[in-house]
Chains A and B, each alone.
Chain A
Amino acid sequence: AQRVTQPEKLLSVFKGAPVELKCNYSYSGSPELFWYVQYSRQRLQLLLRHISRESIKGFTADLNKGETSFHLKKPFAQEEDSAMYYCALRLSGGYNKLIFGAGTRLAVHP
């Protein structure tokens, strides 16, 4: 069965420290992976998708098919990065429904 696992419910770091939010997936097909973010009192929004291979707000994520991972990284965390982060998997074959992980709350302290 398809599954997305985010092992950490909470990640707490100090400003300026590196951040890595872990995401592992289980899917036998060709995956498309996303990171969504939800800031306090805001709606869920797309942060980045693996096919774009871009950096958004200093965040990057590389799809590692061998390790079935799509970890989100940022070299220097900022306080405004504090939010809830969700990793999501889109199945191939024309199905656009997303399978989400349980989310990781990132808290960046001054």
Chain B
Amino acid sequence: GAGVSQSPSNKVTEKGKDVELRCDPISGHTALYWYRQSLGQGLEFLIYFQGNSAPDKSGLPSDRFSAERTGGSVSTLTIQRTQQEDSAVYLCASSFGLDQPQHFGDGTRLSIL
């Protein structure tokens, strides 16, 4: 593909529901990252995957958040029992390696009612 692809582009759900956000990285990129951007704030690191190594989960805000990367490609970020403070734009990025620039997707705008 031409770039990092994220779906859905927008998601509106009720408080307490679970949501899944998907990220397709650029083909061949071994590293994949998730960030969150709340209104009026910068991007907040959540988690990153590098090849077959254990992911760095140090940025996940609570145990309601989890992420998987299957087959070293597609990643899914899952938020369980959503809260209103989870409302944000969730951005995914990928890079060819740890030393390479990150390329971002368009993001998923998540709104919790």
CB within 8 Å of B: which residues of A? 4, 6, 9, 34, 36, 43-46, 49, 86, 88, 94-103
Contact = CB atoms under 8 A, between A and B. Distances in A.
Interface stretch (B11-19, B40-48, B80-88): B40-48
Contact of A97 (B3, B56, B101): B56
B37 to A, nearest CB: 8
B45 A94 contact: no
- In this complex, the member of A45, A46, A49, A97 whose beta carbon has the largest number of chain B beta carbons within 10 angstroms is A97
B42 A97 contact: no
29 contacts: A6-B42, A9-B40, A43-B4, A43-B107, A44-B91, A45-B103, A45-B104, A46-B102, A46-B103, A86-B42, A86-B43, A88-B43, A94-B98, A96-B31, A96-B33, A96-B48, A96-B50, A97-B33, A97-B48, A97-B59, A98-B33, A98-B35, A99-B45, A100-B42, A100-B43, A101-B42, A102-B40, A102-B41, A102-B42
A64 to B, nearest CB: 21
Given A43-B106, A97-B56, A103 B42 contact: yes
Nearest to A99: B45
B47 to A, nearest CB: 9
Given A43-B104, A43-B106, A97 B45 contact: yes
Interface string B73-113: 00000000000000000010001001101111111000000
A54 B84 CA distance: 42
Interface of B: 3-4, 31, 33, 35, 40-45, 48, 50, 56, 58-59, 91, 95, 98-99, 101-107
Given A44-B43, A45-B104, 15 more contacts: A6-B42, A43-B4, A43-B106, A44-B104, A45-B103, A94-B98, A95-B56, A96-B50, A96-B95, A96-B98, A96-B99, A97-B56, A97-B58, A98-B102, A102-B41
B43 A98 contact: yes
B45 A98 contact: yes
A43 B59 CA distance: 22
